[in-house]
């Protein structure tokens, strides 16, 4: 993504569609000129003022709007920023956007370009930018809290604390290397440096162990409903989602492909997946559905393995990475048949049609999900985990080598560890991350 820092960018910063108010945001060196041209004057900094917006060429009245100006460097992007709070009709928004596009040096912003300028101008570090993106995308309360912590600098502060400790350790090593013959250089510098490395390594190890929890809060858990045809999978999906998502039929093999539903489970994001019935079939479409069902099960966090009350089918077993909850279904049809007589001790019994047992299943899922995310730490992305792991590897190498490690190699390991940590906040080696990150942002953010 080629970016000209000399352009003034603009975009709709509020949601698209009909609304009472829409916010058009600008950032760049021409903000003052744009306000003088379209609003007649530049409002006092950080104060909303009622202005008449006019087209920059025709001078037609476009709208009466509240206008705000945020001078550099005290703005979101670190540049001059302006906001036009116009009426939210599509015609008004279109006319204002079109008018801005007529001004030389102004252009429509790309995805995430406002946030990218904030990063480049030092207003936010990369981890805070990621937290902002997560906050925009947050669907559950737990995701919102996690994103707020990261946006406000919890991850950045930890990384900077570790970097400061490693800088201190590096200073001890460098002093030993460069001034070993000086009489005023104290003994034991290497040991002091080693103690600092051990303390940072211990914290990194702890955070890496908690990484799965943090990543799961952000991306959510995947719960796959699996089992033979007519085991009640689609009925259970509808019962959990509390709406008719999947077609329910007595005809075996109705579900041919996976159906996904996003579910807020006590603040934890969950993707519920209904899958094709597992059985042998000569129908190529159903065969593909069964293959996809097994693939989804192998990559699930939790599998609800269903079998009907009168079925002797074995529960799914070939999903070593998932927690399997065995469930016996359709118990409302089993009156007088001795339901549970051959059920395994941990097999839940329910009727998705009547709701019996569904509440107990939800409670079990809630407990399981809370256990998974209970120890959510600083890591929210694989990128963070990989950077922490790289830093830990280099520190462990220096620590395991002990006092006999050559000073130059010892110092280099510390520098490498700091470089890995710098990738988290955007100090080094992040250009390959930026385009992917900001491509997922909203236009106008």
* Paired sense of beta strands 302-308 and 323-329, if any: parallel
Coil/strand/helix, residue 439 = helix
Q: How far apart, in whole angstroms, are the C-alpha atoms of residue 73 and residue 123?
A: 9
- Angle, CA 418 vertex, CA 412 and CA 424 arms, to 5°: 145
Q: Are 68 and 83 in contact (CB under 8 A)?
A: yes
Q: Comparing C-alpha atoms, which of 388, 394, 395 is closest to residue 423?
A: 388
Strands 19-27, 8-12: pairing is: antiparallel
Q: What share of residues in the chain are helix, strand, coil (percent, to 5)? A: 45, 20, 35
Q: Cα separation of 366 and 364, whole Å?
A: 5
- As a whole number of angstroms, the distance between CA 263 and CA 220 comes to 9
- Best CA proximity match to 261, nearest among 274, 247, 249, 278: 274
- 3-class secondary structure, 268: strand
- Known binding-site residues equal 25, 83, 123, 230-235, 249-255, 274-277, 445
Binding-site residue positions for (6S)-5-formyl-5,6,7,8-tetrahydrofolate: 25, 83, 123, 445
Annotated binding site for K(+): 230, 249, 251, 254
């Amino acid at each position: 993504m080629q970016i000209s820092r000399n352009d003034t960018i603009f975009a709709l910063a509020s949601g698209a569609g009909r609304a009472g108010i829409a916010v058009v945001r600008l950032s760049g060196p021409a903000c003052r000129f744009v306000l003088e041209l379209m609003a007649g004057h530049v409002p006092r900094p950080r104060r909303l003022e009622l202005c008449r917006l006019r087209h920059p060429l025709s001078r037609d009245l476009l709208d009466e709007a509240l206008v705000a100006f945020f001078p550099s460097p005290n703005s979101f992007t670190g540049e001059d920023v302006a906001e036009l709070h116009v009426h939210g009709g599509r015609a008004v928004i279109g006319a204002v956007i079109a008018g801005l596009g007529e001004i030389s040096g102004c252009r429509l912003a790309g995805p995430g370009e406002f946030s990218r300028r904030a990063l480049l101008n030092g207003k936010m570090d990369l981890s805070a930018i990621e937290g902002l993106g997560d906050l925009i995308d947050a669907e559950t309360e737990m995701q919102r809290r996690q994103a707020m912590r990261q946006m406000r600098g919890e991850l950045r502060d930890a990384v900077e604390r570790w970097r400061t400790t490693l800088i201190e350790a590096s200073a001890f090593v460098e002093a030993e290397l460069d001034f070993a013959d000086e009489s005023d250089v104290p003994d034991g510098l290497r040991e002091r440096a080693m103690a600092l490395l051990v303390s940072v390594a211990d914290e990194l190890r702890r955070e890496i162990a908690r990484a799965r929890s943090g990543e799961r809060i952000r991306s959510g858990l995947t719960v796959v409903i699996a089992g033979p045809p007519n085991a009640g999978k689609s009925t259970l999906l509808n019962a959990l989602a509390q709406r008719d998502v999947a077609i329910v039929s007595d005809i075996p093999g109705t579900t041919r492909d996976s159906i996904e539903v996003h579910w807020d489970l006590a603040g934890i994001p969950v993707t519920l997946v209904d899958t094709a019935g597992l059985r042998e079939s000569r129908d190529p479409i159903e065969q593909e559905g069964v293959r996809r069902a097994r693939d989804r099960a192998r990559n699930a966090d939790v599998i609800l393995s269903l079998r009907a009350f009168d079925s002797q089918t074995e529960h799914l077993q070939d999903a070593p990475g998932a927690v399997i909850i065995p469930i016996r279904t359709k118990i409302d049809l089993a009156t007088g048949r001795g339901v549970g007589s051959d059920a395994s001790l941990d097999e839940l019994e329910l009727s998705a049609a009547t709701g019996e047992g569904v509440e107990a299943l939800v409670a079990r899922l809630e407990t399981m999900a809370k256990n998974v995310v209970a120890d959510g730490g600083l890591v929210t992305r694989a990128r963070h985990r990989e950077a922490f792991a790289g830093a830990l590897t280099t520190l462990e190498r220096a620590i395991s080598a002990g006092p006999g490690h050559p000073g130059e190699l010892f110092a280099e390991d510390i520098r490498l560890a700091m470089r890995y940590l710098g990738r988290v906040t955007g100090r080094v080696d992040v250009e390959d991350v930026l385009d992917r990150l900001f491509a997922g942002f909203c236009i106008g953010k």
